[in-house]
Amino acid sequence: MMGDYVVPVLKILVLLNAVLVSVTFMTLLERKVIAWVQVRLGPMRVGYHGALQPIADAIKLLLKEDITPVRADKWVFTLAPIVSMVPALIAFAVIPFDREAVFFGFPIALVVADINVGLLYLVSITSIGVYGIILAGYASNSKFPLLAGLRASAQLISYEIAITMMLVSIVVMSGTLSMVGIIDAQFNARVWYVFLQPVAFVILFIGGLAETNRAPFDLPEAEQELTGGFHTEYSGMRFALFFLAEYANMIVVSAVATTLFFGGWLRPFPNVDALSWLGYVPGWVWFVLKTFVFLYLFIWIRATLPRYRYDQLMRLGWKVLIPLGIANLVVTAVLKVLL
Amino acid sequence: MFDTTDLVINMGPQHPSTHGVLRVVLRLDGERVVGSDIVIGYLHRGIEKLCEQRDWAQIILITDRMDYVAAASNNLGYCETVEKLMSLEVPRRARYIRTILAELQRIASHCLWLGTHAMDLGAMTVFLYAFRERELVLDLFEEYCGARLTYNAMRIGGLPLDIPTGWDRKVRAFCDLFETKVAEYEELLTNNRIWLDRTRNIGVISGEDAVAIGLTGPALRGSGVPRDVRKAEPYAAYAELEFNVPIGAAGDTYDRYLVRIEELLQSVGIIRQALDGLPEGPIIGKVPRLIKPPAGETYHAIESPKGELGYFIVSDGKSNAPYRFRVRPPSFCNLQALPRLIQGHLVSDVVALIGSIDIVVGEVDR
């Protein structure tokens, strides 16, 4: 009884808090890293070197007036930020942070739900998130957000197929859709999948940038073109929800890339006994470290690259990523059968 | 099949990418521009009429307010026009220092253009890098004349101030540093795949069309027409200095970008030569105490960072103010090309093209 309900609920609570806190501090990390790239200091006023800036931002956004434009579609307008935020949060349910950790003598698996179709769940949940943007663009009843909504839908169909192809390649390699199973498969194969599937990794990462609307694919919010895009008409906490969703999605994509290609919680060279001293570091620390490398990469790319045009993104998706993805899948499948 | 109408969208006057208060009314089919209407005048201050009410020396500081990111070029154009009207001889040293100031101004203006243009296309780091170097130029101006934006740095017949001690060394140090910084900008953009995709074949205008429409400056040279007032009708000390006029081939946004980047390096070369050959002597010629040009009219143009900046001034020989004061602002004339450039392109390209013709609304509206 206890184990059936209390433990999962506790896990969900802890995970939700951890995700929300990391999301808030991701905003600080992003501002700091971009500032350093651009020879600036970034936030410095609130707390030591701006350490409390996210809290100040959160308070500011909560206290702001919440405006719904008169001509907006009120229900959809309210629904859109929620549709963005919720999938980003529940996607964490299948991400394994460690095989298990011992709390008060009880071994507890550090994953909310190790379901056997974890990967499928992730694909379906994360593609719901983009509806938030499309709905926001439509419901605002304003021209710039409408264009942004159209861009978001064009973007969705261009990258989603390529990403899914890549995930299928991984499934072919590991023979399972379970996230934990994929990590075990990498352990048994004695190699991280990034070395076997470099093409898949690159495509997944590019797709991940597009999925999270991050530069150079931040077309739906392109400030210089669409004056903020889909969130032009949003203010206060609803506006913040879109941003929380964006950052949560970044963490999801990083965590998925870590799980599928970089061995999740596994330490580097998990089968080499000479490096067993690395095993003193808990698995979830390795997981978080790897995830942060990707998050840093996201920010770094944003600071460096100009933005794509949306027809160019579609061309990239349809003419480059999807054919490459199919070729990669075929080669993977053939090799799998032959070897 | 479907009954569709064009989407009319109002870009500006408060839009992050219209560089001030330019307003562009776009008619869109999807995201494709099928028609556009450019509305100007939000920054009109009546500068030309105002100048007809002020005496000749007071006008210099009004010219600062036209192209406010290239105030020294405006000063230079005005002072030279009045000198031409009065047949005044400007000492050689003054002409050299004017040249150095004008070229520093070109660097500052092009840095601002590069930063905002790159930012419009989403490359926000270049913006801060370019502003970092622009800041150094502003520091040099501050040391020379005490102002950072509106310099009032020239006088009819010469200059108000000689260069401060050690200033030339600082300018040289800046030139050395700046060359490495241009390489840094180029590393971020010139061969960047996304940058190429976003700028090549965007807003192509042929040399003939560019001439017909009245484009000048880097926007004209990007289309392969080698016209530069500094070469064609040399003024200040340009006749005695060596420099190249970079031109583009295709006449697209990328070529205009390359032309301006090359101009930055050419400006550095001009400043170095001018410092090397800086003659001794007075900094202001024999100017009558009361400036009152003889009756007559004249047109004189200089190559401002944005293009041909011309002044047409009529003096009646009696009053203390010009009878007619008319400016040919490069930004205004170049802006004429915009509807033609953006026709058939996407909204994303519109911001690239507004950036690519490099306008300052203060100069467009005056």
pLDDT of residue B110: 92
CA torsion angle for B155, B268, B104, B146 (degrees, to 10)? -90
pLDDT of residue A224: 64
The pair of three-digit structure tokens given for residue B219, joined into one six-digit string: 């926007």
Determine the angle formed by the axes of helices A236-261 and A143-174, rounding to 10 degrees: 20
CB contact at 8 A, B316 and B125: no
Place of tokens 């010139």: B190
Q: Across the interface, do A225 and B124 touch by the CB < 8 Å criterion?
A: no
Residue contacts between A and B (CB atoms, under 8 Å): 84
Please give the Cα distance from A148 to A126 (Å, whole number). 19
Spatial CB neighbours of B300, under 8 Å, sequence gap ≥ 6: B77, B80, B81, B84, B235, B310, B311
- Quick check: is A7 in a domain? no
Radius of gyration of chain A (CA): 21
ipTM of the complex: 0.78
- Quick check: is A226 in a domain? yes
Could you tell me the residue range of the domain that residue A167 belongs to? 63-338
- Quick check: is A2 in a domain? no
Average pLDDT (A225-230) is 70
**Averaged pLDDT score across all residues of chain A:** 83
pLDDT of residue B346: 85
Residue A38 touches chain B, beta carbons under 8 Å:
yes
- Quick check: is A133 in a domain? yes
- CB neighbours of residue B280 within 10 Å: 7
Q: Across the interface, do B120 and A215 touch by the CB < 8 Å criterion?
A: no
pLDDT digits (tens, 9 = 90+) for A19-55: 888 888 888 888 888 898 888 888 888 888 888 888 8
Q: Across the interface, do B346 and A226 touch by the CB < 8 Å criterion?
A: no
pLDDT of residue B271: 92
- Quick check: is A51 in a domain? no
pLDDT digits (tens, 9 = 90+) for A167-201: 888 888 888 888 888 888 888 887 788 788 888 88
pLDDT digits (tens, 9 = 90+) for A92-122: 888 888 777 777 767 777 777 778 888 888 8
Find the helix or strand (DSSP H, E) in which B313 lies: strand B307-315
Of B9, B15, B122, the CB nearest to A216: B122
Spatial CB neighbours of B257, under 8 Å, sequence gap ≥ 6: B117, B189, B199, B356
Residue A112, SS3? Answer: coil
Residue B190 touches chain A, beta carbons under 8 Å:
no
The pair of three-digit structure tokens given for residue B120, joined into one six-digit string: 């419009």
Q: Is the pLDDT of residue A1 over 60?
A: no
- Quick check: is A154 in a domain? yes
pLDDT in tens, chain B (366 residues): 567 777 888 887 877 777 778 888 888 887 788 888 888 888 888 888 888 888 888 888 888 888 888 888 999 999 999 888 888 888 889 989 999 999 999 999 999 999 888 888 888 888 889 998 999 999 999 998 888 888 888 888 888 888 888 888 899 999 999 989 998 888 888 888 888 888 888 888 888 888 898 888 888 888 888 888 888 888 888 888 888 888 888 888 899 999 999 999 999 999 999 998 888 888 888 888 888 888 888 999 999 898 899 999 998 888 888 888 899 989 888 888 888 888 888 888 888 888 888 888 888 888
pLDDT digits (tens, 9 = 90+) for B165-194: 888 889 999 999 998 999 888 888 888 888
CA torsion angle for A221, A227, A233, A239 (degrees, to 10)? 50
Longest CA–CA separation in chain A, Å: 67
The Cα-based distances of B340 to B88, B335, B345, B356 in angstroms read 42, 10, 10, 13
Find the helix or strand (DSSP H, E) in which B273 lies: helix B253-276
Residue A300 touches chain B, beta carbons under 8 Å:
no
Average pLDDT (A252-261) is 88
Q: Across the interface, do B348 and A225 touch by the CB < 8 Å criterion?
A: yes
Residue A62 touches chain B, beta carbons under 8 Å:
no
Least confident of A58-72, A222-236, B198-212: A222-236
- Quick check: is A88 in a domain? yes
- Residue B7: list chain A partners with CB under 8 A: 143, 146-147
Q: Across the interface, do A308 and B346 touch by the CB < 8 Å criterion?
A: no
- Tally of structural domains, chain A: 1
Q: Across the interface, do A224 and B17 touch by the CB < 8 Å criterion?
A: yes
Q: What's the one-letter identity of residue A287?
A: F
- Quick check: is A6 in a domain? no
Structural domains in chain B, CATH included, are 47-328 (1.10.645.10)
- Residue B132: list chain A partners with CB under 8 A: 39
Residue B197 touches chain A, beta carbons under 8 Å:
yes
Q: Across the interface, do A224 and B189 touch by the CB < 8 Å criterion?
A: no
